[in-house]
Structure 1
Amino acid sequence: MCKIFLLLCISKYLTDVVWSNPIEESSNASLFDVTGYPLTGDIPLLNRKIFRGTRVNVREHPYVVSIRRNGGHYVTGTLITKNLVLTVAHPIEDVPIQELRVVTGESYSDRGTSLLSVIIILIHQDFDPFTLVADICILRFFEDIIYRSSVKSISLVMPQMTLSGTAFVTGWGRCDFTGNELCLPRTSQYYPDEKIDPMLRSVPLTINSQNHYCEGYKLHGTDIGKGMLCAGGAREENSAYPCLAVPGAPLVLGAKLVGILSWGFGCGFQHDLPLIYTSTQYYTSWITHNIVMFRTLSNNDFTQLFQATKSCVLLDWLSRTRISMPLSHDHSNVYKELQLMKFDEKLVMLQGRPYDIRDYIYETEFHNKKILLYEEVKKTLEEKLSKAEIIKNASKLLLLHKVMPFLSNKSLLGVTYEDNDNSDDD
């Protein structure tokens, strides 16, 4: 009897360890109440947990990429062309572009010999950070990759296709300490309270048209809007149900991209619900339109933008590593117009909000100028004016707003300029 009682106590203890109340976790305490459900009306953010995920090699999922921020893994992405990555918008929206890189062909999120430079961030025009509607964005990196066994793009699922069957969701997340799975925990400056598992993991799930567990979100005042796909199982159905709650992780059915993981209540809590993906079926036209527009631009068109981005990264590194800063000296003609570049004429045709290095320097002053410039270009294109008229009208608009040079060692290092209209550039 004593042995039986001891086994029951141990079993009860292990159950409590596996399904600990999320209120005890500092990183998620503000999102959940004592019942284990998200607060009424809240959008439950993903906790980056992986429970009972299978360790896989990137050659099994060669479309999965690691999006790095300042060298460390930040979010999972999906390779859709030789220079475009699809991911969710909410972790990317406020991140300076010079901090982002892309690593392909690696099974471990802390490895990689080649960091691809992100030069364009394209966020969906309807993205709402509060409701996570249209939670989708595209990253354009400068270098064209070469396809190989560990690096391949993936096609989108057909818009009319009925989704049914076993799918896989894959990515990098937190260590699962509930079983005997091997984990090599890493820390992250962006998630200091979490132990990140650098090994790529995958979880199977069943997609079907009738998933009544998805109704659990509506019961708690959280609607599943258009463009959102609810898929997976619930903890109520199976207490040992595997799950993966990693932002941006691709959901693949029949070797086609079905969605990217956006938000949801799970995994590893007492009342897990199926997770919510941004549906690539719903946004097929948005994705394909922008792919076509990006293909009209070559690397030669983006060379200046690439050089400016790399220069900004280098200057930032020098400013943080120098023992003593150089003495300031006067510059002349420190203000000059924001010029309409060749690639700008194509970027304004994209659907969404494009960001590049100009949006993140000079304390967003160029960002505001660029918005005005793009609005003028769009207006003139709608009026079917000639290229010369477009440039002329844009120049008139910019003359009304004094701007700073596109790149300057001084301004990037935080040196303040005085207004001087008769001086020379660096």
Structure 2
Amino acid sequence: MTGRLQLVRAAVAAGVLAAASLGAVAVGPASAASASDGPSPRIVGGTIAHTADTPWAIQLSNSGSPDPTEEWCGSTLVAANKIVTAAHCAQEAASTYTAIQGRDVLSDTSTGQESKISSIWVDPDYGNQPGHDVAVMTLTTPFDGVATLPLETDSAADTAGAASVVYGWGETEGTGPADTFQKVDVPVLGDAYCSEAYASEGYTADGEICAGYEDGGKDSCQGDSGGPLVLNGRLFGVVSWGIGCADAGNPGVYAEVATYASELQAQIG
């Protein structure tokens, strides 16, 4: 299965290996072309979005990325000094990451603000049990005054048909400009659908969300890993993994924030 790391919608090889060990590939960092690359998925079939409208959407760059912009993963600002991302996006040293807020086009360094990362918490069960693909990073320089996104805490929100939206700077597979902030509507398909579609890949209804289209065409992808899946103004999910991107019968899989909300909140403070 391809993560959105190309198997984990991110580009980090470590993320791919961890996902593969559970029978799934993360959507991971921006490019999983080599062992040194990080996560790598992007929005497919979406539309241009603007960080001015969603200031809590944070690009997570890494010095080890093969992309000229150092694109790595997405993340979400949940407190002035805290971002939530995918565990498979957080396998490198804290010093190699940079959080970028307010930059729609990653090559336009005249826009937005940046912060290094001072510490990383990764769900201790990631890699040992299915799911748990969540992490919290602490910003060295808080993004004071920037709107944050609250966590979804109700597991009942994961209802088939719910109209969620995913955001990211990842792979577009030719459906949009590269390294540019985009969004796409991905309705929740429900646990029953993904449990059958990914019966051999380790999908877990207790901790993951299945969202997208049965016929494909719209999805998150490599480079979008760690980014926000939003429902009703809350951080509903975290881009985690999938098989390919926007392929029929292979919808995106997201870490279900409500399942891990208490652990995440303990780290957010």
| Per-residue deviation, 1:109 | 2.4
Distance in 2 between residues matched to 1:56 and 1:136, nearest whole Å: 24
Distance in 1 between residues matched to 2:150 and 2:73, nearest whole Å: 21
The answer (yes or no) to whether the contact 1:82–1:145 under 8 Å persists in 2 is: yes
Does 2:255 correspond to 1:255? Answer: no
The structure 1 residue matched to 2:152, chosen from 153, 157, 166, is 157
3-state SS of paired residue (2:258):
coil
Return the structure number with greater strand share.
2
| Per-residue deviation, 1:175 | 3.6
Provide Cα deviations, 1:326-366, integer angstroms capped at 9, x if missing partner: xxxxxxxxxxxxxxxxxxxxxxxxxxxxxxxxxxxxxxxxx
The Cα RMSD (Å) is 2.6
TM-score after normalising by structure 1: 0.49
Q: Which has the larger radius of gyration?
A: 1
Give unpaired runs (5+ residues) of structure 1: 1-21, 29-38, 184-196, 293-426
Specify the code of the residue in structure 1 equivalent to 2:229.
Answer: L
| Per-residue deviation, 1:42 | 2.8
Provide Cα deviations, 1:292-332, integer angstroms capped at 9, x if missing partner: 2xxxxxxxxxxxxxxxxxxxxxxxxxxxxxxxxxxxxxxxx
Quote the residue 2:117 is aligned against.
118
The answer (yes or no) to whether the contact 1:49–1:268 under 8 Å persists in 2 is: no
Distance in 2 between residues matched to 1:55 and 1:139, nearest whole Å: 27
3-state SS of paired residue (1:75):
strand
Give unpaired runs (5+ residues) of structure 2: 8-19, 28-39, 64-68
Specify the code of the residue in structure 2 equivalent to 1:163.
Answer: D
| Per-residue deviation, 1:209 | 4.4
Quote the residue 1:199 is aligned against.
180
Q: How many residues align?
A: 230
The structure, 1 or 2, with the larger RCO (C-alpha pairs under 8 Å, 6+ apart) is: 2
Distance in 2 between residues matched to 1:288 and 1:45, nearest whole Å: 24
3-state SS of paired residue (2:263):
helix
Quote the residue 1:232 is aligned against.
212
The structure 1 residue matched to 2:202, chosen from 203, 207, 222, is 222
TM-score after normalising by structure 2: 0.76
Specify the code of the residue in structure 1 equivalent to 2:50.
Answer: N
The answer (yes or no) to whether the contact 1:100–1:118 under 8 Å persists in 2 is: yes
Return the structure number with greater helix share.
1
Quote the residue 2:258 is aligned against.
281
Change in CA separation of 1:265 and 1:119 when aligned onto 2, cut-off 3 Å: same
Identity of aligned residues (%): 19
Specify the code of the residue in structure 2 equivalent to 1:44.
Answer: V
Distance in 1 between residues matched to 2:239 and 2:22, nearest whole Å: 20
Provide Cα deviations, 1:47-84, integer angstroms capped at 9, x if missing partner: 61432111111122221101111262211110000000
The answer (yes or no) to whether the contact 2:191–2:209 under 8 Å persists in 1 is: no
